[in-house]
Amino acid sequence: MLLKQYITDINEIDKGPKMTKIYWLLLLNMIILAGCGTVYVTPSSVPSSTDEISTISATSRIQITPSEVIMPSTKMPISTATIPSTTPTIFLTPTPTFFPTVSDDQSEMVLTKLLQTNGACLDKQPCFWGFTPFVSNADQTRNYLLSLGRRAGEYAFYFTVKEKIRISLDYDAQNGYLGNLNVQLSGMDWPVITNKDWEAYNIDSIIKNYGKPDDIKITGGALEGGNHFFLYYKIYYYKIGLSIGYTSKVLTDLSYTCPLEERWTNSIEWTYGNGNTNPQGLVDVNEALGMSIDDFVNLIQTKHAEACFKVNTKSLLP
């Protein structure tokens, strides 16, 4: 475009005087050179409007120093390894707990409930009133029992329920824990007492809780005069060290007996630890009643109050 204009201008100049031609030639060369040149703009002279910008040279570029460079943010990897958790073994030292003494009425209510439920005892545990041998603290047990009854020794107590049921309880302490335990309950054949009053220790309740006994032994005999009798049977759970014996009321006939009928039982012996060997004079259930342990358990569980036995008196009486 500029070349074409240049040729046109030369033709026009050739028409004028020689000096005038020379002047215009020089002027045209300057204009052409100016049109083909590059305008350098420094950063301080950058136009405020884009319309005013002709050409920006490389020297106008803004350089960023390394300190101004923003690197992409990276997250440090987080370890997902799980620290294995271990449950520490805690060795507890028995600590005595003191219980406030309750009134006679409150004690009667608590004892009545205990005879019906046996307290907070877990199944299959040789537990009495919520206390378990070699688990319960000996002094804590003592303090609790003392709040309910009367103390007869260091670890011996006696209680009365409904004025007729007598309870004696004693145990020994071993390494701070309750050890061997013996409990005697009596007076359950009084007219004012029912089997419901000591339900937790009925033979059917014991079998439901502990299952089939490992052994059953029976004995009996004549009282003074020879016209009255008694029957005693004892069930054994050798694996957990528990035995429970039942003594009948005074019987007029020893040959036929029903141990689940109301007021048949006069007393109960609940023993853990001591007394779990077979005392002399006790006879196997098969010899005394003519049935196996399975038959005895089945009759107790299915017949309840109608669970009656024929007794081989010859095996019991001299």
* pLDDT tier for residue 185 given thresholds of 50, 70 and 90: very high
| pLDDT value of residue 275 | 55
User: Who wins on pLDDT, 269 or 72?
Assistant: 269
Q: What is the pTM of this model?
A: 0.67
The 10s digit of each residue's pLDDT in 92-103 is: 334 444 344 567
Chain position carrying tokens 């205990």: 114
Q: Which residues contact 114 (CB under 8 A, 6 or more apart)?
A: 129, 130, 200
Q: Calculate mean pLDDT across residues 48-73.
A: 41
Q: Which of 90-94, 153-157, 215-219, 296-300 has the lowest mean pLDDT?
A: 90-94
For residues 309 and 231, is the Cβ–Cβ distance under 8 A? Answer: no
* pLDDT tier for residue 152 given thresholds of 50, 70 and 90: confident
Instruction: Check pLDDT > 90 for residue 45.
Output: no
| pLDDT value of residue 4 | 43
| pLDDT value of residue 138 | 94
Domain ranges of the chain: 2-58, 104-316
Instruction: Check pLDDT > 80 for residue 37.
Output: no
Q: Which residues contact 289 (CB under 8 A, 6 or more apart)?
A: 218, 296, 309, 310, 311, 312
Instruction: Check pLDDT > 90 for residue 137.
Output: yes
Instruction: Check pLDDT > 50 for residue 57.
Output: no
DSSP collapsed to 3 states, 24-55:
HHHHHHHHHHHHHCCCCCCHHHCCCCHHHCCC
For residues 216 and 234, is the Cβ–Cβ distance under 8 A? Answer: yes
Mean pLDDT of the chain: 75
| pLDDT value of residue 286 | 94
Instruction: Check pLDDT > 80 for residue 81.
Output: no
Instruction: Check pLDDT > 60 for residue 151.
Output: yes
Enumerate the H helices of the chain as residue ranges. 2-14, 18-36, 104-117, 138-148, 203-210, 285-289, 293-303, 313-316
Rounded Cα–Cα distance for residues 199 and 182 (Å):
19
Give first-to-last CA distance, the chain, whole Å: 152
Q: Calculate mean pLDDT across residues 183-202.
A: 95
Instruction: Check pLDDT > 50 for residue 111.
Output: yes
Amino acid letter, 56: I
For residues 116 and 70, is the Cβ–Cβ distance under 8 A? Answer: no
Question: Which token pair is 192?
Answer: 């004012």
User: Who wins on pLDDT, 275 or 73?
Assistant: 275
Q: Which of 150-159, 165-174, 269-278 has the lowest mean pLDDT?
A: 269-278
The 10s digit of each residue's pLDDT in 288-303 is: 999 999 999 999 988 7
**In this structure, how many other beta carbons lie within 10 angstroms of the beta carbon of residue 110?**
19
Q: Calculate mean pLDDT across residues 266-271.
A: 95
* pLDDT tier for residue 53 given thresholds of 50, 70 and 90: very low
